A and B are shown apart, each in its own frame.
Chain A
Amino acid sequence: MLNSLLHCDDLNINFGQNQVIKNLHMHLYEGEILSILGPSGCGKTTLLRIIAGLESPYQGTIFLNNEEIFGPDTNIEPAKRNIGMIFQDYALFPHLSVEKNILFGISHLDEKTQSENLERVQKLTRLEGLLERYPHELSGGQQQRVAIARTLATRPAVLLMDEPFSNLDASLRLTVRMEMEEILRESNTATIFVTHDREEAFSIADRVAVMASGSIKQIGPPDQIYFWPNSKETALMSGSCNFVDGVISGEYVKTSIGLLPLRIPAEFSESEKVQVAIRHTDLSMEPIPSGENTVIRKDFRGDETIFWVETAEKELIQCKHKIHTTLFPGLKVKLSPVQYTKFNVFSPEDA
Chain B
Amino acid sequence: MTLTNPLASRTSLWIMIPSLIAAALCVTPLVYLIGRVSGADSEIWTWLVRPKTMMVFSRSIFLAITVTLLSVVIAVPIAWLTTRTNLPYKKLWSILTFLPLVIPSYVGAYILMSFVGNGGLLYEILNPTLGIERIPTMYGYYGSLITLSFLNYPYIILTIRSNISNMDVSGEETAKLMGLNQFQTFMKVTIPSIKAAIFSGSLLVSLYTLSDFGAVSLLRYKTFTWSIFNQYEAGFDRNTAALLALALFLVATLFMTFEILIRGNKKYYKNSSSASRKLPIIDIGRWRWPAAGICAFVSLVSVVIPLAVLSYWIVRGLYFGEDASILTAESNHILAFNSITLSVLTAAVVVVLSLPVGYMSVRRPSVLTNFIEKMCFTGYALPSVAVSLSLVFFGAKIGAPLYQSTLLLVVACAVLYMPTGLGAIRSSMTQISPRYEESSMTLGKNKINSIILTNLPLMKSGIIMAGATVFLITMKELPAVLLLAPLDFHTLTTAIWSFSSEAFFARAAIPSLLLIFLSSIPLTMIVLKNNIFNNLGSE
**Chain A residues packing against B (C-beta within 8 Å):** 52-54, 56, 73-85, 87, 89, 91, 93-95, 104-106, 108, 150-151, 154
Q: In the bound complex, how far is the Cα of B4 from the Cα of A154, in angstroms?
A: 22
Q: Which residues of B lie under 8 Å from residue A104 when comparing CB positions?
A: 440, 443, 445, 453
Given the interface pairs A74-B1, A91-B433, the reply to whether A56 lies near B6 with Cβ below 8 Å is yes
Within 8 A of A (CB), among B279-318: none
Is A75 a contact of B9 with CB atoms below 8 Å?
yes
Is B9 a contact of A77 with CB atoms below 8 Å?
yes
Q: Which residues of B lie under 8 Å from residue A78 when comparing CB positions?
A: 438, 441-442
Q: Which residues of A lie under 8 Å from residue B458 when comparing CB positions?
A: 94-95
Q: Which residues of A lie under 8 Å from residue B6 when comparing CB positions?
A: 56, 75
Q: Is B454 an interface residue (CB 8 A)?
A: yes
Is B446 a contact of A79 with CB atoms below 8 Å?
yes
Given the interface pairs A56-B9, A91-B433, the reply to whether A77 lies near B447 with Cβ below 8 Å is yes
Is B442 a contact of A84 with CB atoms below 8 Å?
yes
Q: Is B131 an interface residue (CB 8 A)?
A: no
Is B439 a contact of A87 with CB atoms below 8 Å?
yes
Given the interface pairs A75-B3, A75-B9, A77-B9, the reply to whether A91 lies near B439 with Cβ below 8 Å is yes
Q: Which residues of A lie under 8 Å from residue B442 when comparing CB positions?
A: 52-54, 78-79, 81, 83-85, 151
Q: Which residues of A lie under 8 Å from residue B439 when comparing CB positions?
A: 85, 87, 91, 93
Q: Is B436 an interface residue (CB 8 A)?
A: yes
User: Which of B4, B433, B445 meets A105, CB within 8 Å?
Assistant: B445
Shortest distance from the beta carbon of B389 to any chain A beta carbon, whole Å: 44
**Chain B residues packing against A (C-beta within 8 Å):** 1-4, 6, 9, 433, 435-436, 438-447, 450, 453-454, 457-458
Is B457 a contact of A95 with CB atoms below 8 Å?
yes
Residue among B2, B3, B441, B454 with most chain A CB within 10 A: B441
User: Which of A77, A85, A93 meets B446, CB within 8 Å?
Assistant: A77
Q: Which residues of B lie under 8 Å from residue A94 when comparing CB positions?
A: 458
Q: In the bound complex, how far is the Cα of B216 from the Cα of A49, in angstroms?
A: 58
Q: Which residues of A lie under 8 Å from residue B9 when comparing CB positions?
A: 56, 75, 77
Q: In the bound complex, how far is the Cα of B442 from the Cα of A93, in angstroms?
A: 14
Shortest distance from the beta carbon of A128 to any chain B beta carbon, whole Å: 22
Q: In the bound complex, how far is the Cα of B446 from the Cα of A85, in angstroms?
A: 15
Shortest distance from the beta carbon of B415 to any chain A beta carbon, whole Å: 33
Q: Give A68's nearest chain B residue, CB to CB.
A: B1
Shortest distance from the beta carbon of B38 to any chain A beta carbon, whole Å: 40
User: Which of B1, B3, B438, B445 meets A87, CB within 8 Å?
Assistant: B438
Cβ-closest 10 pairs across A and B: A105-B443, A91-B435, A78-B441, A85-B442, A91-B439, A87-B435, A95-B457, A56-B6, A79-B444, A79-B446
Given the interface pairs A73-B3, A74-B3, the reply to whether A91 lies near B441 with Cβ below 8 Å is no
Is A154 a contact of B443 with CB atoms below 8 Å?
yes
Is A89 a contact of B3 with CB atoms below 8 Å?
no
Q: Give B443's nearest chain A residue, CB to CB.
A: A105
List 28 A-B residue pairs with CB atoms under 8 Å apart, sorted by A's residue number.
A52-B438, A52-B442, A54-B441, A56-B9, A74-B3, A75-B3, A75-B6, A77-B2, A78-B441, A79-B441, A79-B445, A79-B446, A79-B447, A80-B2, A81-B442, A82-B444, A83-B442, A87-B439, A89-B433, A91-B436, A91-B439, A93-B439, A94-B458, A95-B457, A104-B445, A104-B453, A106-B444, A154-B444
Q: In the bound complex, how far is the Cα of B443 from the Cα of A56, in angstroms?
A: 18
Q: Which residues of A lie under 8 Å from residue B444 when comparing CB positions?
A: 79-80, 82, 105-106, 108, 154
Shortest distance from the beta carbon of B57 to any chain A beta carbon, whole Å: 46
Q: Which residues of B lie under 8 Å from residue A89 when comparing CB positions?
A: 433, 435
Is B4 a contact of A77 with CB atoms below 8 Å?
yes
Q: Which residues of A lie under 8 Å from residue B4 when comparing CB positions?
A: 75-77
Q: In the bound complex, how far is the Cα of B446 from the Cα of A80, in angstroms?
A: 8
Q: Which residues of B lie under 8 Å from residue A95 when comparing CB positions?
A: 457-458
User: Which of A76, A83, A85, A151 meets B1, CB within 8 Å?
Assistant: A76
Q: Give A49's nearest chain B residue, CB to CB.
A: B438
Q: Give A159's nearest chain B residue, CB to CB.
A: B442
Shortest distance from the beta carbon of B443 to any chain A beta carbon, whole Å: 3
Given the interface pairs A87-B435, A89-B433, A94-B458, the reply to whether A76 lies near B2 with Cβ below 8 Å is yes
Given the interface pairs A56-B9, A95-B457, the reply to whether A77 lies near B435 with Cβ below 8 Å is no
Q: In the bound complex, how far is the Cα of B447 from the Cα of A201, in angstroms?
A: 33
Q: In the bound complex, how far is the Cα of B436 from the Cα of A150, in angstroms?
A: 13
Q: Which residues of A lie under 8 Å from residue B454 when comparing CB positions?
A: 93
Q: Give A108's nearest chain B residue, CB to CB.
A: B444
Residue among A76, A81, A83, A91 with most chain B CB within 10 A: A91
Q: Which residues of A lie under 8 Å from residue B436 when comparing CB positions?
A: 91, 93
Q: In the bound complex, how far is the Cα of B450 from the Cα of A78, in angstroms?
A: 11
Q: Which residues of A lie under 8 Å from residue B447 when comparing CB positions?
A: 77, 79
Q: A76-B1, A82-B444, A106-B444 are in contact. List 5 more A-B contacts (CB 8 A).
A: A54-B438, A74-B1, A75-B6, A93-B439, A105-B444
Given the interface pairs A75-B6, A93-B454, the reply to whether A85 lies near B445 with Cβ below 8 Å is no
Q: Which residues of B lie under 8 Å from residue A108 when comparing CB positions?
A: 444
Q: Which residues of B lie under 8 Å from residue A84 when comparing CB positions?
A: 442-443
Q: Which residues of B lie under 8 Å from residue A82 when comparing CB positions?
A: 444
Shortest distance from the beta carbon of B444 to any chain A beta carbon, whole Å: 5
Is B441 a contact of A77 with CB atoms below 8 Å?
yes
Q: Give A81's nearest chain B residue, CB to CB.
A: B442
Q: Which residues of B lie under 8 Å from residue A106 when comparing CB positions?
A: 444
Shortest distance from the beta carbon of B9 to any chain A beta carbon, whole Å: 7
Q: Which residues of B lie under 8 Å from residue A105 when comparing CB positions?
A: 440, 443-445
Q: In the bound complex, how far is the Cα of B435 from the Cα of A78, in angstroms?
A: 13
Q: Which residues of A lie under 8 Å from residue B1 when comparing CB positions?
A: 74, 76
Q: Give B457's nearest chain A residue, CB to CB.
A: A95
Q: Give A85's nearest chain B residue, CB to CB.
A: B442
Residue among B435, B445, B450 with most chain A CB within 10 A: B435
Q: In the bound complex, how far is the Cα of B444 from the Cα of A87, in angstroms?
A: 15
Q: Give A70's nearest chain B residue, CB to CB.
A: B6
